Amino acid sequence: MDGYIGLSLLVDRESGRCIATSAWESEDALGTSTDQAAPLRERAAEIFGGEVTVERWEIAVLHRDHRANEGACVRATWVKIAPDQVDQGVEFYKTSVLSQIEELEGFCSASLLIDRAAGRAVSSVSFDSRAAMDHNREQATEVKTASMREAGVEELDECEFELALAHLRVPEMA
């Protein structure tokens, strides 16, 4: 499809939760693809035996240390932020949080997606393996807790996933 630049699939085999993300060159490309992608989403829901929920997020930050290999895992944290504080939150993530996340053992990449209108954001941090993600859980939680307190955001959810598919050709933005 015109304007398509990538796809990723996160899987939590215990809960059955899957998150498929697609990336697009522009808002126009995303809009144009909506009708074309609907049958693909429906077929995926059929194959996975679940329901589809579609959300639109803006990629605010993407930083890769290196490409994810087989066995990579992701810790995703969703937060609520005042809509008028989103830009400040993005800057805080870029200038303070990202450098701390990069120091975690087995760090692979990090992204921050935002929904400006709803005042929501999700940070996803990928690691080379489940062992690396498990090993730094305490340190990562300390970084998260301190950063959320300083940024004035509220945690909505946190989940850990296998990175089942990583085929994003999105340019680095951080």
pLDDT at residue 128, rounded to an integer: 97
Tell me if 174 is assigned to some domain.
no
Tell me if 60 is assigned to some domain.
yes
SS3 category, 152: coil
For 67, the domain range is: 4-168
CATH number reported for the structural domain that contains residue 75 in this entry? 3.30.70.100
pLDDT in tens, 95-134: 999 999 999 999 999 999 999 999 999 999 999 999 999 9
pLDDT at residue 135, rounded to an integer: 96
DSSP symbols for 59-88: EEEEEESS---TT-EEEEEEEE--GGGHHH
Name which residue leads in pLDDT, 16 or 120.
120
Instruction: Quote the CA–CA distance of 138 and 22 in Å, as a whole number.
Output: 31
Q: Is residue 146 scored above 70 in pLDDT? A: yes
pLDDT at residue 174, rounded to an integer: 42
Question: Is the separation of the CB atoms in 155 and 77 below 8 Å?
Answer: yes
Tell me if 173 is assigned to some domain.
no
Q: Whole-prediction pTM value? A: 0.90
Q: Per the structure, how many domains does the chain have?
A: 1
Q: In the structure, what pLDDT confidence band is assigned to residue 41 with cuts at 50, 70 and 90?
A: confident
